[in-house]
Chain A
Amino acid sequence: MSQLQRRSAQVAVDEDDDMNNKGYVWEQQYERTWDVLQEDAQGSLRASVEEHERAKRRRFKTQVQGVRRGMMRHLTIILDMSSRMDDPDLKPTRLEHSIRLLEQFVPEFFDQNPISQLNFIISRDAKAERISELGGNPAKHLESLRKKASTAGEISLQNSLELARESLRLMPSHTSKEVLIIMGGLASCDPGDIFQTISLLELDNIHCSVIGLSAEVRICKYLAEKTKGVHNVIIDESHFRDMLFQHITPPPASSRTEALLIRMGFPRQNLSKAATLCACHKLFRAGGYICPQCKAKCCELPTTCAVCGLTLVSSPHLARSYHHLFPLAPFREVPLAHPPADANGLLAGLVANSTTLALHPSCRGCSKPTATMRSAFQCPTCCHVYCLDCDIFIHDTLHTCPSCVALLDGSAVANGGESSSQVSSQH
C-alpha cells in the first residue's frame, strides 16, 4: 500500500469516528487526495501534502470544547498478553509496539492529569493479573510492565474487568473511573456471564474503552456502549497512537460524578541541607516537602501524606489542568489564497485579501506575512490572525493566545476572577 493511499484511508476513518460510523472505508466515496496538491513556490509538493494532513488533524483535534471534565481520574489499563499479541502486523510485534506506545502514553498522561492515578492489568492464559497498584509514578508502572512482557494463551476479558472493578469501585465517587482495554485477540475466555460484569461496571459508573488491534468484536463494542466508553479499531501504527492518546484528555464529567470540596495541603519546601527521615520511603534525604497538617516530610509532589492522609499538591500541579477547564476557543479558518469559485465571490475574495493584509499584516505568533499564507486562523476573542503552524502549536501545546493576554484586565485581582468570567460565559 503506498504511503498516500494509506494516509487517505486513515483520514477517511478519522472522519468516520467523528460522524459515528457511516460505513466501511471501501464503501465510501473515493477521496481524491491529489486534488488538493499544489506546487509551492519552490515547485515542491511535500509542503502542501503536509499542510493538508495537518489541516485535517487540526479539525480532528479541536472538536470538543467547553465541557465540564472529570479532572481526578483513576484509570486501569488492561493489556492483552494473549498469543495473538505476537502477530507481527505492528512492528516488531503487537505486544512490543503496544508497550512502546504505552511508554510514551504514561508520562504524557501524568503530565496532563497531574492529580490522577493509573494502574496496569495484564491478561494471558485466561487469567488476569494486576501488575501495579493505582499510583502516580510513571516509572514504576512501566518497569513492572516491561518485566511481565510475555505472551501465552488467551485473554480473559471478564477476569480482567472484574479485577479492574475491584480496585476502581472503592475510589471516591467524585473521581472519574475508567478502564482502557488494548485487545489483540478476537476471542475471550470467560468463566461466567460477562454481561453481568458489564452491568455491574455500568452500575459502578466505570467507563470502559476498547482499542481493538485486529477487528471489531461485538462484546467489546457492547461493553463500550453500555459503560459510555469509546470503541476503536486501529488501522495502522499512527492511528493506534491517535486512538491511544485521545485518552489523555480528561473525559467529560458524567452527571453521576459527584462534586466535592476536597481538602488539600500545599506544602512548603524543606530548606534544610541536612538529611532527614522522609515519611514515604523511610530514608534519610535532603530537601523534600513538609506536610502542613502533620509536619511529616515527603519526597515528591503530588502525593498523599503517609502520616495523616492529606492530599499534598503544589500550585503548578493544579495549574497544569487549568487549560482543560478553560480551553482556548478554536480559531476560525479564513481562506486567503483560494478565492471563491463564482465570479462575484472571486471579486469579494480579492477585496477581502487587500483589507486583510492591511488589518493583519502578519501572523501574531511568528510574524509570517499574511500574504504568504493559504489560510489565516483568526482568534474569535482578540481577532488577531495566526498561521497554521502557530494555530496547531497554540491549541496543542501553548493553550494561550498571545494577544488575548493583553485583553485581560490587568488590574483584576487574580486568576480567580478571570477564570470565573471565562467559565460563566461557557455555561
Chain B
Amino acid sequence: MSSAKLYQAPTSAAASTAMAMVGEDDEASQLVVVLETNPLVMQASVAVTAASCAATTTPLATGISAASSPEGKLPFGALVDALLLLANAHLLMRRSNSVAFVASHISESLLLYPTPEDTSGVKRREGAIPMDAGDEEPKRQVESSSRPIDDGMHEQFASANLRVAAALRELVLRPAPWQDQNGHEATDTTGAANGLKAPTKPPMSSAMTSQLVSSLSVALCHINKTRRALPPGVVCRSRILVVHAAEDVPAHYVQLMNTIFAAQKLGVIIDALILTPDDSGFLQQAVDLTKGAYIKLQSNDDLVQTLMMFGLADRAARELLILPQPTVVDYRSACFCHRRIVDVGFVCSVCLSIFCDQRGLCPTCGTRFKLPMKPQAIRKV
C-alpha cells in the first residue's frame, strides 16, 4: 500500500487506522524506479522485442536467469521482472513503504505507478465510471482486505505488478508523439481562446535522446507530493533507482544539475544501475552528490542479486554496507566554446560561463569585459 494511499484515506475509519499506523512506525521509505522505455535509445544495451515485453505480463512467473537474449543483452522483460521483484521486496520490508515507477519514454516521461486512482484510494477499471455511490461498498471491501489472492500473492503486490506491467504494455503500443499530427488541431484553437494552450510538440530529435532528466524531475515532483500528503511527524526517506540504458544527453546538463541539487535538498538518494557498456558521467555526479550507489552489472545473471543487495538497503543499512561507488568522478568542466575539458578556465563574472581562452565579449550573456585580470589579483585580501 502506498503511503499516500494510507494517509489520504477519505473515510474517518480509515483515517483512524492511518493514525494508529503513525504511532507504529513514523518513518516511511519510498522507492522510485526510473526506467528507460524508449526503444530507440536503449537498443545498444537492452534487448527490446515483442517477446521480451510480453514477459512483463506475468511478472515473477518467468525464469529470470534463464531468459537471456542471444547477443548477451539483457532482455527488457527480465529487467522489468527483476525491478518488480525489488519493488515487492521493498514493500515487504515495512507496511508504510511505497514504490513508484517512472518511465523515460519517447520525448516524454510518465509516472506509471501509482496513478491518481491508486493514491486517492479509488480503484478504477478501464472504462468504468469512478466514484459512484453504489460503488462504495465493494470498494471498501477491496480496501480493507489484505487476503492473499489465488496465486498466493499479497493483493497489494499483485496490484502494483499488474499495473506496472499494463502501463508498460500500453507504452509500447502507444504511437510516438509525432505520429498523431492530425488529432489535436481543432481542440488546439478552442483551448487557446479560453486561456489554455495545447502542449507544444517536442521536436523529432528529442525522440532519439534519453528523457532521463525529465523522468528524474517527474520522480522528484512525485516525491514532493507524497511528502506533502504525510501527516506531520512522519518522515519519508526516498530513494530513486535509475536504470541507465541510454547515452547521456549533454544538452540536458543544466537541467540535470538542477534536479540533482533538488534531490540533495530533499535528502533523496539517487542510485544508478548501469546497463550500458560505458560509464555515465551524469549519473556518476548524481550518485556522488547524493551519496547513492553506482551499480555496474558484471553479468546479466547477477541482476536480481545485485538489486536485492544494494537497491533494497535503506539509509540505516547503507551505513553498514560498502556501496559500489564510481571510481572517479570527473568534476572538471567543459568550456562553453569548444566543449573541451579544461583544467584552468576563464569564467564570466556575470553568467559564470566557462571559456578556455580570454576574450572581450561573453557570447552567453553578451557582457563586454574589462581588461583581463591578472591571476594574483584574485588572491584574497
Contact = CB atoms under 8 A, between A and B. Distances in A.
A399 B260 CA distance: 11
A382 B199 contact: yes
Interface string B248-275: 0111111101111110011000000000
Given A268-B332, A365-B225, A304 B116 contact: no
B195 A334 contact: yes
Interface of B: 10, 107-109, 111, 115-116, 184, 187-188, 190-191, 194-200, 202-203, 205-206, 208-209, 211, 213-215, 217-218, 220-222, 224-225, 228, 249-255, 257-262, 265-266, 285, 289, 328-329, 331-337, 339, 342-355, 358-359, 362-370, 372-373, 375-381
Nearest to A421: B364
Given A310-B344, A326-B254, A399-B262, A261 B359 contact: yes
Contact of B331 (A316, A359, A427): A316
A158 B351 CA distance: 34
A271 B255 CA distance: 29
Interface of A: 41-42, 68-69, 71-72, 111, 115, 134, 170-172, 174-175, 253, 258-269, 271, 292-293, 304, 308-311, 313-316, 318-323, 325-326, 332, 334, 348-349, 351-352, 355-356, 358-360, 362-369, 372, 376, 378, 381-385, 389-390, 393-394, 397-403, 405-420, 423-424, 427
24 contacts: A111-B265, A253-B350, A259-B369, A260-B349, A261-B349, A263-B375, A263-B378, A268-B343, A304-B380, A316-B331, A318-B352, A323-B254, A365-B225, A367-B222, A399-B262, A400-B255, A400-B259, A409-B205, A412-B251, A413-B251, A413-B339, A415-B253, A415-B336, A423-B365
A260 B378 CA distance: 11
A363 B228 CA distance: 16
Contacts, number: 315
Contacts of A417: 251
A383 B188 CA distance: 11
Contacts of B116: 362, 367-369, 372
Can you list the 5 inter-chain pairs with the closest CB atoms, starting with the nearest? A410-B209, A416-B336, A365-B221, A352-B194, A309-B379
A170 B221 contact: no
Contacts of B224: 366, 389-390, 393, 397
Contact of A318 (B214, B217, B343, B354): B354
Given A320-B257, A322-B352, A402-B217, 18 more contacts: A111-B265, A174-B349, A261-B362, A262-B348, A304-B378, A309-B380, A318-B347, A325-B351, A352-B194, A359-B184, A360-B196, A365-B222, A366-B111, A366-B222, A403-B108, A405-B213, A416-B337, A427-B365
A378 B199 CA distance: 9
A400 B251 contact: no
Contacts of A360: 196, 199
A224 B224 CA distance: 38
Contacts of A352: 191, 194-196
B205 A411 contact: yes
* Most chain A CB inside 10 Å of its own CB: which residue of B213, B352, B370: B352
Contacts of B354: 264, 315, 318
B190 A389 contact: no
A179 B277 CA distance: 52
* Most chain A CB inside 10 Å of its own CB: which residue of B107, B197, B368: B197
A418 B214 contact: no
A359 B198 CA distance: 6
Contact of B251 (A265, A316, A409): A409
Nearest to A394: B221
Contact of B252 (A320, A323, A368, A408): A408
Contacts of B380: 134, 304, 309
A320 B261 CA distance: 7
A298 B188 CA distance: 58
A422 B197 CA distance: 22
A310 B347 CA distance: 12
B73 to A, nearest CB: 23
Contacts of B334: 414
A360 to B, nearest CB: 7
A420 B364 contact: yes
A352 B197 CA distance: 10
Contact of A262 (B197, B262, B346, B368): B346
Given A262-B373, A365-B225, A378-B196, A414 B352 contact: no
Nearest to A362: B116
Contacts of B366: 423-424, 427
Contacts of A292: 343-344
Contacts of B343: 265-268, 292
B108 A406 contact: yes
Contacts of A359: 184, 187-188, 191, 196, 198-199
Nearest to B247: A410
A414 B344 contact: no
A263 B222 contact: no
Given A362-B116, A407-B202, A409-B205, A393 B378 contact: no
